[in-house]
């Protein structure tokens, strides 16, 4: 099973659509959005998949975003998500809370931790945990997303 990871769309619908085009070509099964959605207009762009959203520091009207995510029949995890896909435990957060981010990445409880906030794509391992930032679809050069093969936990950063 392959999943797509995006972050920091900041209401940039066109960039989100470009990311969706790439994710469709790569035949992902689900999408994780690591926060800073920025607008309800971004949410339906990911309608082709089961998409999990968390809020970031610029997602000021969380109630409206929460409503739109539920209306789109997607999953809203508020500020922190814990999900299991293909037998893998995955944490999803924005990482603007540095203490919480450190606790999650160092806990050893997750196979994969996906985060955003820095607008910089990166991947590393903490113990058995793959820690992944897909980059951003706004205020980044280049824009990027990530795909993870859950069988191998191998992340791939993809420029958009």
Domain layout of the chain by residue ranges = 2-159
| pLDDT for the residue 50 | 97
Distance of alpha carbon 139 from its chain centroid, rounded? 16
Mean pLDDT value across residues 12-29: 97
Mean pLDDT value across residues 54-83: 97
Strands, E, within the chain: which ranges? Answer: 2-6, 30-33, 50-53, 75-76, 80-85, 88-93, 112-114, 122-126, 129-133, 144-149, 154-159
| pLDDT for the residue 65 | 98
Phi-psi region of 52 (alpha: psi -120 to 50; beta: other; left: phi over 0): beta
The fold for domain 2-159 equals: Purple Acid Phosphatase; chain A, domain 2 (3.60.21)
Mean pLDDT value across residues 26-43: 98
Distance of alpha carbon 75 from its chain centroid, rounded? 12
Mean pLDDT value across residues 52-61: 97
Quick one: CA dihedral 98, 124, 107, 115, positive or negative? positive
Residue 143 near residue 135 (C-beta atoms within 8 A): yes
| pLDDT for the residue 138 | 98
- Over residues 95-140, the pLDDT tens digits come to 999 999 999 999 999 999 999 999 999 999 999 999 999 999 999 9
């Amino acid at each position: 099973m392959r999943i797509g990871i995006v972050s920091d769309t900041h209401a940039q619908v066109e960039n989100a659509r470009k990311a969706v085009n790439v994710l469709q070509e790569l035949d992902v099964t689900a999408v994780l959005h690591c926060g800073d959605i920025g607008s309800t207009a971004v949410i339906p762009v990911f309608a082709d998949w089961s998409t999990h959203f968390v809020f970031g520091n610029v997602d000021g009207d969380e109630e409206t975003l929460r409503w739109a995510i539920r209306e789109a029949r997607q999953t809203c995890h508020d500020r922190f998500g814990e999900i299991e896909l293909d037998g893998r435990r995955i944490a999803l957060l924005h990482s603007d809370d540095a203490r919480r981010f450190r606790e999650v990445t160092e806990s050893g409880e997750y196979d994969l931790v996906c985060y955003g906030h820095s607008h910089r794509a990166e991947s590393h391992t903490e113990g058995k945990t793959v820690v992944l930032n897909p980059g951003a679809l706004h205020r980044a050069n280049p824009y990027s997303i990530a795909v993870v093969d859950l069988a191998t936990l191998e992340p791939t950063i993809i420029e958009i």
